[in-house]
Amino acid sequence: MHELGVVFYIIRDVKAVAEENHVQKVHSVTLEIGEVSTVIPHLLEDCWNWAVKREPIMDAAKLKVEQIDAVTYCEDCKGTYPTVQYGKICPLCGSEHTYLLKGNEVSIKEIEAT
């Protein structure tokens, strides 16, 4: 829902890194996005394509997305299971005492630049 806001954060971070590393042009930005991060990759890409055109240092930069599967941990049976399929209740023992191990990331992994 707030993909545009996320894109503005990414652009700000990438511009800072580009300046620190004295690069002339950013060609691509690779993100790691968790399955349950609430960020929808294709909407992010639409916002990206609109926003980067306004940034000379990265006006043709491609967005690459690597998805991270969501995994939940059960405190009672110590098992792990896929979050999207089963939600908050552990399919192994029926417990509600569970928490997300990974899958809510929105991170910048790396950039390609010259």
Partner 1 sequence: MDEVKIIEIKKSVFADNDADAAKLREELKRKGVFLLNLMSSPGSGKTTTLIKTINLLKDKLRVAVMEADIDSDVDAKKILAATGVQSIQLHTGGMCHLDAEMTRQGLDGLALDDVDLCILENVGNLVCPAEFDTGATKNCMILSVPEGDDKPLKYPLMFSVCDLVLINKIDVAKYFDFDIERCKGYIRMRNPRAEVIEISALTGEGVDKFAAWLIDQVRKQREEK
Indicate whether 90 belongs to the interface with partner 1 (CB under 8 A): no
Q: Identify the residue among 13, 19, 59, 76 touching partner 1 (CB under 8 A).
A: 13
In sequence order, which ranges of the chain are alpha helices (DSSP H)?
3-20, 41-52, 83-86
Binding residues for partner 1, total number by CB under 8 A: 28
Residue 54 binds partner 1, judged by CB under 8 A? no
The token pair that represents 105 in the structure block: 């990331």
Q: How far is the CB of 28 from partner 1 (least distance, A)?
A: 9
Q: Outline where DSSP puts E strands in the chain.
A: 26-34, 62-68, 71-74, 80-82, 98-102, 106-113
* Shortest distance (Å) from residue 17 CB to partner 1: 6
Separation CA 77–CA 16 (nearest Å)? 44
- Helix ranges (H only) for 21-70 are 41-52
| 4 lines the binding site for partner 1 (CB under 8 A) | yes
* Interface ranges with partner 1 (CB under 8 A): 1-2, 4-6, 9-10, 12-14, 17, 21, 23-24, 27, 31, 38, 96, 105-114
